[in-house]
Each structure stands twice: as C-alpha cells, then as structure tokens.
Amino acid sequence: SHVKDFSKFVFFFQRVLLLVAADVDALCACKILQALFQCDHVQYTLVPVAGWQDLETAFLEHKEQFKYFVLLNCGANVDLLELLQPDEEAVFYICDTHRPIDIINLYNDTQIKLLIKQDDDLDVPGYDDLFRDDEEQNSEDSGNESEGSEPSGKRRRFDEVSIIDSRHIANLMSNSLSPCLQSALVMFELAWIMSKDSNDMLWWTIVGLTDQWIHDKITHMKYVTDVGTVQRHVSRHNHRNEDEENSLSIDCMRISFNYDLRLAMYQHWSLYESICNSSYTYANLKLWSIQGLKRLQEFLADMGLPLKQVTQKFNCMDISLKENLRELIEESANKFGMRDIRVQTFSVHFGFKNQFLASDVVYSAAALLENIEKDNENDNFIRALDCLSRSNLDKLHQGLEMAKKQLRAIHQTVASCICTNLIISQGPFLYCYLQEGSPDVKIFSKPICLSLLCRHLLKSFIRSTRIKRCRLLPLVMAAPMDLDKGTVIVTGIPPESDSSDKKSDFFGKAFEKAAESTSSRTLHDHFDTSIIELKAEDRSKFLDALISLLS
C-alpha cells in the first residue's frame, strides 16, 4: 500500500498531472484530491480521460512538463509502462477500482505506485518467487564466461523476465481480483492520515461509495461493511446537539446516517413516479405487465395513500402523510415480498431547506456525465464535477431532472424488451440487441446508462420468465453507437445469481478472444474491459465466436 507514502509526497509535489476517468467515484476522489492540493498549494493540471486513447493522448501532450502523474479509476488493469512508454523518472500513482490489476503494475515499484488501502492489500508473492532474469539464468549456465553480463544489482526489466511458477500466478491473479475499494474512500483515508479531512470530503466519499453500489460494482455485503467504516467518520464530524439543529445556518452542512427507501430520487419526484422507475420496485412488482400495474394499485391501497397524494410532487404531499411514510411503505412492502426495501445510507443537509440522499447525487452526476444533449465529454465532465459542490445546487437539480428522464427511458425500454421477446437465450448467455430507431436509443450509446439498462433488464427478465436456468446466465447487450460510423456498443454483465466480488472483468477477455478469432473490427477503449465498440456488420460473426468460446 502506497497510501502513507503518497501522503508524505503530496507536500513535495511541484506539479502534478491529474488524469480522471468519467465515473462518479472518480469525480468524488478527484474533488477530495483537489481540496488536498489546495491545502498544500500544489499546482496541478486536471485532464478528464474517457478511455485508453484519451489517456495516451493526454500523457503525450503533457509528459514534458510533469514528473508526477495521478490516475483515478484508470490505469491499473493494463501494463501501463508498455502502453505509455514514459521516461525513467516519471512516477505514476494509480488509484483504480478496475480489476484484475495487471501483474506487471504489481511488481514495478519504482515507477508504478498502486494506492490500495491497507486492509485491502493484495497478498502478493515475492518478485523472486514469480520471475527469474533470463540473463541471470544464462550466466549460471555458462559459468563465468560472460564477462559482459550486467551487475546483478541492476533494476530488472520486465521484458527480460520469464514466469517460473504458474501456481503463484494463479494465486496472484485471484488476489488481484480482490474486492475493489472505491477510490473516493482511499483518497479520504489519505486526507485522514494527513489530518486534513473535512465534512465535504466525507460527503464525496459517501457519494463515491453509493455510486459503486448503485452501479453494481461492489456486492451488497461490501457496501454494508464500507458504510460501517464511513459511519464512524460521520459521527466524528457531525456530533451536533439536537437544539442546534433548528438553528442551522444557511451555509452549514450536516451529514446523517439513515435507513432509507430504495426508491430513486423520491424526495425530488412524485412517490408514484419513483416507485414506477426504481429498479427494485419495478422488478418486484413486475411493472411491465398489466398484472404488475394492478399489484401497484393494491400496494398503494394497502398503504392507504390516496392517488392524488402519491402522484403530486413529494414536497407538496400532506405533512401528516410524510411523517411516518418510511414505516408505512416498509410495512406494506413486506406484505408484497419486498422485505429489503430499506437500505443503510446517508443524507446531507445544506442550510435548512436543502436535503439530499447520497443516491440523489449519484444519479444526478451520472446523468450530467452522459448528457447527450450537450455531447461534449469535457463540458459534461466539468458540469458533473460542479454538481458535487454545495455552491452549485442548481447544477445538482439540473442533473436530477436529466436522471429522471434516463430512468423513465430505461424502464420503458425494459418493458418493450420483455413484452416483444427481445431477450434471447444464446446457450451460455442471454442476448439482447436494441434496434436502431427504437425510442431513446441514443442515451444507451453511453456506457454508464447502457450498463444500468443491462442490469435493470436482467433483474426484471428473470422475474418475468418461468425458465429457472436464466438465473444462472449472464447477459450480453448491444445498442447502436454511431450511425455514421456504423458501430454498436456491446457490454456484458455477470448472472443475477453471481454474488461474488469478482464483478469487474467478467467479459473482457472473452470479448478480446472473440474479436481476434473472427477478425471483427472492434475498439477496446473503455477502462472497463467488458464494454467494447464493434462494427455493426461484424456483429453476428462476433456473437457466434462468443457463443462457442463460452459454451
């Protein structure tokens, strides 16, 4: 773990190039690091990178001016030195949730510093257990003949090593898949070690953690464990008397731990819309079907909530109804088989009238990142970063409105995929292709949105089919990407029944092999290797290869 090492270095950085991936956890880690750099007057340049090509371009443009590079949520799962070919004095600090970590990055300690939390340390066998130097081997074989052989103290180059023990490699590969820790939490720990952590930083950490959970990058168990870790910091930073709460000043900020509902943005929407567009209630009530809509009416009736109340804005609901609303919903949800509608989470109060759940901020920032109306990646990145500051609540509200549109589109698409039988079983996996011209198809040309659709669809499809085997199958999904270039975006997710922590690289290698064996024209540019771009006319041969590979 280089976190402590990095904390000492922050003071000494002259100038840093900060390369940040386009996901909410990376944005939150970036905010924390920016605040730390500000404390220590460290000069830095921030460059958003959407994929490997961006990363290479940014490095080439800036490598002359910088010696230190910090990479957030990118760079760990490829041989970075091979990709970037940097000078020997360049040092890369990598804080990345993508797994598996590339084995070469694990061993190059001079130029690659992986920021991994202490208790998340990878049980890595020693370098000498895994590698031997070919030169050394030769000199042993030929006695002392090779006078020109390099001194053994020379730093070993990794292109000269050969692997000697496959058992260790297997052990290492499973370890480098270990549960990934969100980058925001690593950065917060850094701030804490330096005694510079603040309530703002803590809130960004919570948003980063919630992002990993909402977008299914960590298991529920891991989420609950990390919530426990964060909760201790929350009570440390927010131990205010109840009497003071009534006199919260406008610029004051308070974080609190709650058990809240798994209903997306319900406090900024109507309860009815939120129930209809939250993956949890949508799938459990089977809202794509007529029977499901009937069950929804029964559910509302059971709670005794008049339709007029639940269909208007949450803010405008009768206060008497809102007082014990959570308990009311939970009680009825239990009867309808939704026993875990409550979840541990955090909310923040800005001043006395603005309150947000961590999930609200995640939905807002993700929607701003993938805004298709203003399809400029850099602008979108800056807007999403802005919505995390409490001085930019209008941006946050803007993002919430966009996120509502996205969730509506996702659930309409789920309904039409299920009702028109678009999901087909291809043997080793389920497959769904969104046709060009289907409504809202453009928003699914973006990775976060497509992955969200993919997960919501799999969850609902499993509840809509009688075929038990489907629970054990992963889902591959394709959607039109760029009509002019004739490309589609393809992603794959693990089976619903797979609760392992190894969610990261389920399809990456299979996609690579299928493309290779069929000479399909693909672009593997995403940091998440299970998202690729593919020429539309190569789709069927690519699919056939994937089926035979995974069978």
The structural domains of the chain, with segments of one domain joined by +, span 1-125+165-197, 198-242+252-408, 422-550
Tell me the C-alpha distance between 540 and 139, whole Å.
52
| CATH domain 1-125+165-197 topology | inorganic pyrophosphatase (n-terminal core) (3.90.1640)
Q: What is the CA radius of gyration of the chain?
A: 25
According to DSSP, the residues that pair with 426 across neighbouring strands are none
Tell me the C-alpha distance between 255 and 189, whole Å.
18
- Residue 37 backbone dihedrals phi, psi, to 5 degrees: -60, -35
Q: DSSP string of 15-73? A: EEEEEEESSHHHHHHHHHHHHHHHHTT-EEEEEEE-SHHHHHHHHHHHTTT-SEEEEES
What is the average pLDDT value for the chain, to the nearest integer?
86
Q: Where are the beta strands (DSSP E) in 445-550?
A: 475-482, 487-493, 522-523, 531-535
Query: In this structure, what token pair is assigned to residue 13?
Result: 């950085």
548 touches 530 (CB < 8 A) = no
pLDDT tens for each residue of the chain, 551 residues long: 577 777 776 666 778 999 999 999 999 999 999 999 998 888 999 999 999 999 999 999 999 999 999 999 999 999 999 999 999 999 999 999 998 888 888 888 889 999 876 544 455 555 555 555 544 444 444 444 433 333 333 334 433 333 334 444 444 444 455 556 789 999 999 999 889 999 999 999 999 999 999 999 998 999 999 999 999 999 999 876 544 544 455 568 899 999 999 999 999 999 999 999 999 999 999 999 999 999 999 999 999 999 999 999 999 999 988 888 999 999 999 999 999 999 999 999 987 788 999 999 999 999 999 999 877 889 999 999 999 999 899 999 999 999 999 999 999 999 999 999 999 998 899 999 999 888 889 999 999 999 999 999 999 999 999 888 888 999 999 999 999 999 999 999 999 876 655 445 678 899 999 999 999 999 999 999 999 999 999 999 999 999 999 98
Tell me the C-alpha distance between 478 and 480, whole Å.
7
52 touches 531 (CB < 8 A) = no
The whole-angstrom distance between residue 345's C-alpha and the CA centroid of its chain comes to 17
CA-closest candidate to residue 262, choices 348, 338, 354, 366? 338
CA-closest candidate to residue 478, choices 517, 439, 432? 432
Query: In this structure, what token pair is assigned to residue 400?
Result: 């919430």
Query: In this structure, what token pair is assigned to residue 365?
Result: 């920032």
pLDDT at 39: 87
C-alpha distance from residue 491 to each of 101, 255, 290, 478 (Å): 20, 36, 30, 7
Contacts of 364 (CB under 8 A, 6+ apart): 387, 396, 397, 398, 399, 400, 402, 403
Element (H, E) at 525: none
Which amino acid is present at 255? Answer: I
Contacts of 512 (CB under 8 A, 6+ apart): 524, 529
DSSP helix/strand/coil, 362: helix
Tell me the C-alpha distance between 54 and 156, whole Å.
30
- Taking only the tens place, the pLDDT of each residue in 22-74 is 999 999 999 999 999 998 888 999 999 999 999 999 999 999 999 999 999 99
Tell me the C-alpha distance between 519 and 498, whole Å.
31
Q: Where are the beta strands (DSSP E) in 307-465?
A: 342-350, 354-357, 423-425, 430-433
Angle at 360 between CA 359 and CA 365, to 5 degrees: 95
Pairing, β 161-163 against β 131-133 = antiparallel
Angle formed by the axes of helices 377-386 and 358-369, nearest 10°: 160
Angle formed by the axes of helices 199-214 and 358-369, nearest 10°: 70
185 touches 117 (CB < 8 A) = yes
Report pTM: 0.89
Tell me the C-alpha distance between 401 and 363, whole Å.
10
Q: HEC string of 141-160?
A: HCCCCCCCCCCCCCCCCHHH
- Taking only the tens place, the pLDDT of each residue in 166-184 is 444 444 444 455 556 789 9
Q: Which CATH number fits domain 422-550: 1.10.3470, 3.10.310, 1.10.150, 3.40.5?
A: 3.10.310
Q: Where are the beta strands (DSSP E) in 166-248?
A: none
Query: In this structure, what token pair is assigned to residue 370?
Result: 């993938």
Angle at 286 between CA 282 and CA 289, to 5 degrees: 120
98 touches 180 (CB < 8 A) = yes
Tell me the C-alpha distance between 25 and 360, whole Å.
14
* b (16+ CB within 10 A) / e for 238-265: beeeeeeeeebeeeebbbebeebbbbbb
According to DSSP, the residues that pair with 489 across neighbouring strands are 479, 533
Tell me the C-alpha distance between 175 and 532, whole Å.
25
- Residue 364 backbone dihedrals phi, psi, to 5 degrees: -65, -50
Query: In this structure, what token pair is assigned to residue 211?
Result: 């992002």
